[in-house]
Structures are given as structure tokens and as C-alpha cells.
């Protein structure tokens, strides 16, 4: 029975295109470069500024602190702010916290649902190895 539930859950996940995956890997590479140079321990804003520089150096198209409208049943109820919208297709949310919490993943998932973008990266810079601070979040259909 558990296998059937897992199969159904996996069937609802839409894997991003190869192009979007390449973009995500480019962003991860830029984040790794920032982390290798700065290391853990700074405020989130420091990593944001360094990542902007790295995106520019690598030619990665991005918008910083992209404002998005939040709707409820067809009515505008507020605004959200994405840390980065990369190439108008990938949400990148940065953190500099001791541990990622479920609310951080929920935040990215809510942004994905709100914008209909298929993929988000949650990157926590406050870890010894950045690969341990990266979560890839896919919008389910």
C-alpha cells in the first residue's frame, strides 16, 4: 500500500526541463563560489550582495528582491518578495540560519504556487559545506 502512495505522490511531481536544471546548476555553482570565499557566519544580506556580483560575473540573468502579487480567490491581498528570480523562471531563496526549518521550505513552495514557476532553490549559507544547505523544491501539479 505504501508503494502505491509513493508512486501517486511521485506522479504528481513535474520534473523541470533540462534547460531549467542547467540554470539551477549554474546558480548552485555561483552560490558555491560565494560560500567558498566567504564561508558561513555572515548575515543573509552579505550573501545576497556577493551572489549578485557572482551572477553578474557569470552572466546569469536575475532580478533581486522581485515583488510579486499575492491573490486569494481572485482578489489581491498583498505582496510577496522573492530574494531572486533567475532568468524569469527559477526562484532562489537565501537563508543564513543555524538549521533550515519546514517553514523555509513552505515559504518557497508558496512562492512556487503563487507564481506558477516550476522550480525553486532554498540555499542556506550558514553550513560548513554548502551542498548540505541546498534544497531543490519542485512545484507539484
Residue 127 lies in a domain: yes
Residue 2 lies in a domain: no
* 12 pLDDT more than 70: no
Residue 8 lies in a domain: no
* 6 pLDDT more than 70: no
106 Cβ contact partners less than 8 Å away, ≥ 6 residues apart:
none
- Please give the average per-residue pLDDT across 57-69, as a whole number: 97
- Please give the average per-residue pLDDT across 71-87, as a whole number: 95
Orientation of helix 44-58 relative to helix 18-38, angle to 10° = 120
Q: Which residue segment(s) compose the domain that 69 sits in?
A: 16-138
Residue 10 lies in a domain: no
Q: How confident is the model at residue 141 (pLDDT cuts 50, 70, 90)?
A: low
* DSSP assignment of the chain: -HHHHHHHHHHTB-PPPHHHHHHHHHHHHHHHHHHHHH-S-S-HHHHHHHHHHHHHHHT--EEEEEEEEEEETTEEEEEEEEEEEETTTEEEEEE--SS--HHHHHHHHHHHHHH--SEEEEEE-SSSSGGGGEEEEE-B-
The mean of the pLDDT values for the chain is 91
pLDDT tens for residues 101-112?
Answer: 999 999 999 999
* 53 pLDDT more than 60: yes
| Length of the chain measured in residues | 141
Residue 64 lies in a domain: yes
What whole-number distance in Å separates Cα of residue 71 and Cα of residue 68? 10
Residue 40 lies in a domain: yes
Domain count for the chain, please give it.
1
- Please give the average per-residue pLDDT across 76-92, as a whole number: 96
Q: What is the pLDDT of residue 3?
A: 42
Residue 102 lies in a domain: yes
Amino acid at each position: 500500500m505504501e508503494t502505491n502512495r509513493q508512486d501517486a505522490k511521485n506522479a504528481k511531481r513535474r520534473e523541470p526541463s533540462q534547460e531549467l536544471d542547467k540554470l539551477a546548476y549554474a546558480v548552485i555553482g555561483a552560490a558555491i563560489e560565494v560560500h567558498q570565499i566567504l564561508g558561513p557566519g555572515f548575515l543573509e544580506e552579505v550573501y545576497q550582495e556577493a551572489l549578485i556580483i557572482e551572477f553578474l560575473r557569470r552572466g546569469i540573468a536575475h532580478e533581486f528582491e522581485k515583488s510579486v502579487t499575492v491573490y486569494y480567490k481572485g482578489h489581491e491581498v498583498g505582496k510577496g518578495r522573492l530574494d531572486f528570480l533567475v532568468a524569469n523562471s527559477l526562484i532562489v531563496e537565501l537563508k543564513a540560519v543555524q538549521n533550515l526549518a519546514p517553514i523555509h521550505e513552505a515559504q518557497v513552495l508558496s512562492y512556487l504556487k503563487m507564481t506558477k514557476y516550476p522550480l525553486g532553490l532554498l540555499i542556506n549559507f550558514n553550513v560548513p559545506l554548502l551542498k548540505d544547505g541546498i534544497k531543490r523544491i519542485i512545484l507539484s501539479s
